């Protein structure tokens, strides 16, 4: 062990030997005295708190209600409540914002127009209707040039507005006709595309042309007179024109034999497209209205499917 460490131990022993610890009995007596003092202080504090509470409650009870108010002397007028409403300062009137219209005027109606579908410039085969099997004459149809309307005193309704046109000749058989019979008639069926707005003008010109040409000489000898007249019509496309042509029946020599050969022509507009169904007969036959109306509806439906 080093000399320094030995010196530290000796110094520590000297310090502890000089201090004397108290005896156990003395320590217990001292602790008991402190416990009795704390108990006495606690009891005194509780007694003081109770006494203060009781004294405060007695003071409140002794105060009691306040004295009644003294009535005013006799003859003193009693004030009456005022019935007048309190005046309110008028608030400044705020002018309503101007909406740029006079009183009583209606709000402007905004109309939106959907873009028009593009007008086709070609006419496919599917734009032409197909005859039912019961009315098919078995001869097919022939597309080719030729007139699409009867002669109307030289009028050419809507020709200057035409974009393109196709026409065909279509023999047909009436329902119930024998399969070995000749066709019951022939349709001259045409479809014409007009410039924008031209189709409506073409139908208006067609009506005017029929009215302006109630009769005209027919080809052949001896000469006979053909008569035209408009017929009421509705329920086909956007609008339609229906008229008839009447030519006297003639015998083998060309002489009138009594009665008229009647043929119907219907022009139907669907937008800027006009389809014309002109029934021309077959060997002096006349148009059967029920068959003609049914095939007119087929023609309009074919146009609708094509344009859609």
Tens digits of per-residue pLDDT, 155-169? 999 999 999 999 999
* Cα atoms found within 13 Å of the Cα of residue 133, Cβ hemisphere only: 0
Helix (H) or strand (E) holding 51: helix 24-63
Residue 279: what pLDDT? Answer: 97
Token pair 């086909």 is found at 236
Report residue 157 as tokens: 């309704």
Please list, residue by residue across 56-79, b when 16 or more beta carbons sit within 10 angstroms of its beta carbon and e when fewer do: eeeeeeeeeeeeeeeeeeeeeeee
Report residue 34 as tokens: 């402190």
**Strand, coil or helix: 241:** strand
Burial group, residue 242, by CB count within 10 angstroms (0-12, 13-18, 19+): buried
Nearest to 142 by CA among 182, 174, 189: 189
The CA distance from 135 to 295, in Å, is 10
Task: Tell whether the torsion through CA atoms of 226, 227, 233 and 237 is positive or negative.
Answer: positive
Nearest to 276 by CA among 98, 152, 117: 152
The conformation of residue 54, written as its DSSP 8-state character, comes to H
Helix (H) or strand (E) holding 13: helix 3-18
Distance of CA 301 to the CA centre of its chain: 26
Tens digits of per-residue pLDDT, 187-240? 999 999 999 999 999 999 999 999 999 999 987 777 889 999 999 999 999 999
Residue 109: what pLDDT? Answer: 47
Residue 24: what pLDDT? Answer: 55
Residue 11: what pLDDT? Answer: 66
In which residue ranges of the chain is pLDDT below 50? 59-61, 65-67, 69-73, 75-105, 107-115
Residue 229: what pLDDT? Answer: 97
Architecture of the domain spanning 125-307? 3-Layer(aba) Sandwich (3.40)
Residue 284: what pLDDT? Answer: 85
Residue 15: what pLDDT? Answer: 57
Report residue 181 as tokens: 């019979």
Task: Tell whether the torsion through CA atoms of 225, 230, 231 and 236 is positive or negative.
Answer: positive
Report residue 175 as tokens: 């329902």
Residue 215: what pLDDT? Answer: 95
Please report, for the chain, the start and end positions of each structural domain, with discontinuous segments joined by +: 125-307
Residue 263: count other Cβ atoms within 10 Å of its Cβ. Answer: 21
């Amino acid at each position: 062990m080093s000399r320094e460490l030995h010196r530290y131990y000796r110094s520590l022993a000297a310090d502890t030997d000089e201090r004397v610890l108290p005896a156990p009995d003395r320590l217990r007596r001292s602790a008991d005295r402190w416990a009795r003092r704390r108990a006495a202080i606690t009891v005194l504090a509780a007694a003081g708190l109770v006494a203060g509470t009781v004294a405060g409650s007695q003071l409140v009870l002794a105060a009691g209600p306040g004295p009644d108010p003294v009535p005013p002397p006799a003859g003193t007028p009693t004030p009456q409540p005022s019935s007048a409403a309190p005046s309110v300062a008028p608030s400044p009137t705020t002018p309503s914002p101007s909406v740029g219209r006079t009183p009583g005027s209606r709000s402007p109606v905004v109309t939106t127009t959907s873009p028009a579908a593009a007008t086709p410039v070609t006419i496919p085969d599917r734009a032409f209707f197909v005859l039912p099997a019961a009315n098919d004459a078995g001869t097919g149809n022939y597309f080719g040039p030729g007139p699409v309307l009867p002669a109307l005193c030289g009028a050419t309704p809507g020709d200057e507005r035409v974009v393109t046109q196709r026409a065909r000749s279509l023999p047909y058989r009436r329902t119930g006709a024998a399969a070995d019979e000749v066709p019951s008639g022939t349709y001259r069926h045409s479809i014409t595309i007009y410039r924008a707005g031209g189709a409506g003008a073409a139908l208006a010109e067609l009506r005017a042309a029929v009215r302006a040409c109630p009769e005209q000489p027919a080809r052949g000898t001896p000469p006979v007179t053909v008569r035209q007249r408009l017929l009421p019509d509705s329920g086909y496309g956007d609008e339609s024109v229906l008229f008839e042509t009447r030519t006297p029946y003639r015998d083998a020599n060309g002489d009138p034999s009594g009665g008229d050969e009647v043929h119907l022509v219907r022009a139907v507009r669907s937008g800027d497209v006009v389809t014309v169904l002109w029934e021309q007969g077959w060997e002096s036959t006349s148009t059967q209205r029920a068959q003609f109306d049914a095939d007119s509806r087929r023609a309009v439906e074919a146009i609708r499917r094509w344009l859609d």
